[in-house]
Amino acid sequence: MISTSALFVVAVLLQIQDVIGAENGIIGFGIPLYQDSCCLACHESLSSLYLGCTTFPGHHDMPGMNMKMAGMEGMMGMTSEECRTSNMPWLQTMAYCIQQACGAHGYTVEQQAKCFSMHAVAGASEPAFHDCLPDTAPTVELPPDAEWLNITSRVNRDLYHSTHGTLEEFARSEYIHTRYSLILYLIVIGVCLAWGIKIQLAGVFPGIYRRLRTSTLGLSLQQHISLPALFGSRRLEPLPANLGYVPGRALSISISIYIILNVVFSSISFRSFQPNVYFPSQQFELCEYVGNRTGILSLVNLSIAILFAGRNNLLIAITGWSQTTFLTLHRWAARVATVQAIVHSIAYTIAYVDPGYEGATPYPVKAAEPFYWWGIIGTIALSLAMAFAVLPIRITLYELFLIVHIVLIILSLIACWYHLVPHFGYVYGYQVWLYICFAFWSADRLARLARIAYYNCPGDAKAIVEAIPGCNILQVTVFPRVIRGIGPGQHTFVYFPGLGKLWESHPFSIAAWETHQTSLRFASSSLSTSKDNNVYSAAKELETVSPVTGSNYQVKSAATLHQESVPHESQTYNGVSFRLLIRAHSGMTATLHRHLSSPSTSSRVEVSAYTEGFYAGHHATFQPLFTADTVLCLVGGLGITHALGFVQEYVSGMSPEGEAAGKSRGMMRRAKRFILAWSAKEITFIDHVRKNFLTNAQGVESSFWCTGFPESVGNKSDSSKGETREVEDFAPAIDAAVTVGRMHIASVVRSSLEAGRQTTVIVCGPGQMADEARKQVINCVKDGFSIDLVEEAFAW
């Protein structure tokens, strides 16, 4: 079985394979920075001085000593390593400086010799350190404005002090940048892993877990931290004007801590050293440090955001948190990364216009350098990606948002690469943070491709799309190559290449899955081409056999077939299938619905469809179901697709055939009651689901509400808006009453509770309904009942 975790790990390892190497690492971990600062300070204090063997372009025949006399002091000389290794004033001055300066820092003679070889003679073994030490200590100290080194001298004390202090402080700041970046990573990943360990321990010791949940502390945490919305009861219902979603209280606390950590790490442990040979003013120096810190942290948070956005994020399986939760964390990590990128840009702008550097006048020249304007492009791309990711745009123009979002992020990563690598090379290891970004992004894409290859038959991936009469909902039956790993609470991403956009995929909850003991044969008839040439439109007629699931949970087809007197061609489907229920909105689903609603076509059509397999449904997510005595599914509208998988799981476990196989390892092994409470607008949709999915749902206590009943029925009632009425006359073949009106969530929840028994509420529906269910669960916790909440929402 190919699991999401295995695919993701393999893909990440493939991507980072080339990253491991001697030239890679980060400062403090694979890359030492200014490790021998005393030696390097000696070298930096002397390296700019002209020697007797220094050459000047165009004047190779003129001895260096005469250059000053020739009036050519402003010309730039070139001092080669061969020149230095043969120049005695250089060798002796360097050797004496290293002996005095590094000896004061506790360097042994061997360390001093190694230092001398590296910095004085470019790594050569000759001349040796001992041979170059002067017999007597030099008495001449170089002046601060010295240009020539003609005799063995002492390094200017003030120059050495400022050089050594500059190197030490710069190295310290870079080490701290790395340290805080790694701490942030360890905290974020560590919290996720710790939560995953807690979930695993709860599964190993369910009795202890149950006692902790029902203890005074556990109930208090549920009531005040884990269950409530941040303020009031609004959580999955968007804010007015679709300004966004407010995370729950526990998630909001986590996000707040994350933001505070980033603010603290971006603001502390800065020091200034002056006089500084790199940064002539304190403002310039501090701006450089702030810019470097926020730049690195921005890359770190960007990689975290990319990890959290992935469908194949391994942490989803470990923690049991939903993809909706991780997408919320993704957005906040991306926002933090963007703000830090903006601060990084502002800090460097201030630094370069600082009078201590060059001032504002030459700033346009600096901004025209490739590394600089690539940095500007990166910051702008990140800012635009954040601006165009607001909820109103995601709701109204989701497909456009997704394309623009991906393009802007790719552009920002490319810009970061050309901002860093051509300018800094691999000296500081900044590129490693980009490698991590690339690895997370490409690993998720490779995992998707691997899933498509595994779950589909190449060139023969088909699905049957049926229109449910009286509503804009489609039933899609997908025939993958395998359905291993499928289970309740899962969703899948489906591609419909025949509809024109090969790259588009949409998430749909899996309503049911079947293993067919015999083949399904459909008679197909060709249809005339419509305006949408990409729809594979062939009328189907079911000829044989209903599917079975391995238990007695059978599903019957109730689609209305449209007979056509044209030649038929047989299509056969073997093995396995799963079904989806899709509401037609716009784009792909609207195209399918328009085609099926046409009077000239059948209510069933075959299309090409590829699935990525099955996401979510992890045991860590549904841990409360393992200890539940009663399971209550509160669903609204199309949320029934999420609940139907649990119905199938429960019925399969309760059936004689599924007792050993299902009950022994099913997630609801303790449950004695299963209650389904569903509210929907369309009575025909309710009828379809009951006939096709709930016919043999033995042991399930079902209640139905229809909120979009016909106007004639509504007019017959003199009751108020909140009252309900039994529907019997316009719901054919329904053997139990459907209540007209809205579900009273508080009553439904209260009716499922029993003293001393554990109840788990699964809610999937509109945001307002989910928020009301959460509110009622909290009220029950306050009253001392043992109750858990499992929420399913695609608040993307």
Following DSSP, what letter does each residue of 352-370 receive, concatenated?
HHSTTTT-STTHHHHHTSH
User: Residues 644, 786: one domain?
Assistant: yes
User: Residues 598, 721: one domain?
Assistant: no
The span from the CA of 574 to the CA of 155, in Å, is 86
pLDDT, residue 146, reads: 93
Instruction: Spell out the SS3 assignment of 288-333.
Output: HHHHHHHHHHHHHHHHHHHHHHCCCCHHHHHHCCCHHHHHHHHHHH
User: Residues 642, 607: one domain?
Assistant: no
User: Residues 677, 729: one domain?
Assistant: yes
pLDDT, residue 602, reads: 67
- What would the DSSP string read from start to end of 562-604? ----S--EEEEE-SEEEEEEEE--STHHHHHHHHHH-TTS-SE
In a domain? residue 241: no
pLDDT, residue 9, reads: 53
Contact 236, 771 (CB under 8 A): yes
Contact 152, 142 (CB under 8 A): no
Domain boundary residue, one of 130, 155, 180: 155
Bridging pattern class, strands 787-791 and 759-764: parallel
User: Residues 506, 650: one domain?
Assistant: no
Task: State pTM to two decimals.
Answer: 0.86
pLDDT, residue 571, reads: 58
With 0-12 / 13-18 / 19 or more C-beta atoms within 10 angstroms meaning exposed / middle / buried, residue 433 is: buried
Query: CATH number for the domain including 629?
Result: 3.40.50.80
Contact 635, 765 (CB under 8 A): yes
In a domain? residue 587: yes
Give residue 269's region: left, alpha or beta (phi > 0; psi -120 to 50). left
pLDDT, residue 74, reads: 52
Q: Maximum distance among all alpha carbons in the chain? A: 116
User: Residues 558, 636: one domain?
Assistant: no
pLDDT, residue 561, reads: 30
As averages over each run of 10 residues, the pLDDT of the chain (796 residues) reads 51 48 73 90 94 78 47 68 93 96 93 94 91 93 93 95 96 96 96 93 84 86 90 83 87 97 97 93 94 97 97 93 94 98 96 76 86 96 96 88 95 97 90 95 95 89 88 92 91 86 85 75 39 35 33 36 37 78 80 72 82 91 90 95 94 65 63 95 93 90 86 41 42 61 95 92 93 94 92 76
Contact 531, 600 (CB under 8 A): no
The span from the CA of 505 to the CA of 500, in Å, is 12
Nearest to 147 by CA among 37, 212, 20, 54: 54
In a domain? residue 632: yes
> How many Cα atoms are found within 13 Å in the side-chain-facing hemisphere of 489?
24
Bridging pattern class, strands 576-583 and 610-611: unpaired
pLDDT, residue 499, reads: 73
Residue for token pair 């060709």: 526
Number of structural domains (the chain) is 3
The span from the CA of 240 to the CA of 192, in Å, is 32
Residue for token pair 């966004």: 244
> How many Cα atoms are found within 13 Å in the side-chain-facing hemisphere of 433?
27
User: Residues 604, 667: one domain?
Assistant: no
Look at the chain and count its residues. Answer: 796
The span from the CA of 244 to the CA of 231, in Å, is 14
Contact 773, 762 (CB under 8 A): no
> How many Cα atoms are found within 13 Å in the side-chain-facing hemisphere of 606?
21
Residue for token pair 């509109």: 766
In a domain? residue 342: no
DSSP state of 225: I
- Both tokens of 393, joined, read 């745009």
**How far apart, in Å, are the Cα atoms of 386 and each of 111, 256, 305, 322, 417?**
52, 19, 12, 22, 20
With 0-12 / 13-18 / 19 or more C-beta atoms within 10 angstroms meaning exposed / middle / buried, residue 143 is: exposed
The span from the CA of 450 to the CA of 432, in Å, is 26
The span from the CA of 517 to the CA of 511, in Å, is 20
R_g (Cα) of the chain, nearest Å: 35
678-702 exposure pattern, b = at least 16 Cβ within 10 A, e = fewer: bbbebbbbbbbbbbbbbeebeebee
User: Residues 692, 775: one domain?
Assistant: yes
Strand partners, 479: 462
Helix (H) or strand (E) segment spanning residue 718: none
In a domain? residue 314: no
**How far apart, in Å, are the Cα atoms of 215 and each of 210, 212, 218, 219, 498?**
9, 5, 5, 6, 56
The span from the CA of 388 to the CA of 394, in Å, is 8
The span from the CA of 372 to the CA of 96, in Å, is 41
289-328 exposure pattern, b = at least 16 Cβ within 10 A, e = fewer: bbbbbbbbbbbbbbbbbbbbbbbbbbbbbbbbbbbbbbbb
The span from the CA of 352 to the CA of 347, in Å, is 9
User: Residues 671, 780: one domain?
Assistant: yes
User: Residues 501, 529: one domain?
Assistant: yes
Q: State the residue range of the domain holding 699.
A: 623-791
pLDDT, residue 710, reads: 53
> Looking at 379-487, which runs of residues are DSSP E strands?
462-467, 473-479
Nearest to 420 by CA among 390, 378, 381, 386: 378
pLDDT, residue 572, reads: 58
In a domain? residue 536: yes
> How many Cα atoms are found within 13 Å in the side-chain-facing hemisphere of 723?
8
Termini Cα distance of the chain: 29
With 0-12 / 13-18 / 19 or more C-beta atoms within 10 angstroms meaning exposed / middle / buried, residue 207 is: exposed
In a domain? residue 402: no
- Residues contacting 101, CB < 8 A, separation 6+: 38, 39, 41, 42, 155, 160, 164
Domain boundary residue, one of 98, 130, 155: 155
Helix axes 88-104, 37-46, angle to 10 degrees: 150
User: Residues 678, 570: one domain?
Assistant: no
Helix axes 431-455, 282-309, angle to 10 degrees: 10
- Both tokens of 686, joined, read 């309710």
Domain boundary residue, one of 92, 121, 155: 155
Contact 230, 248 (CB under 8 A): yes
A 10 A CB-CB count for 610 gives 23
User: Residues 627, 572: one domain?
Assistant: no
- Both tokens of 724, joined, read 């309900």
In a domain? residue 357: no
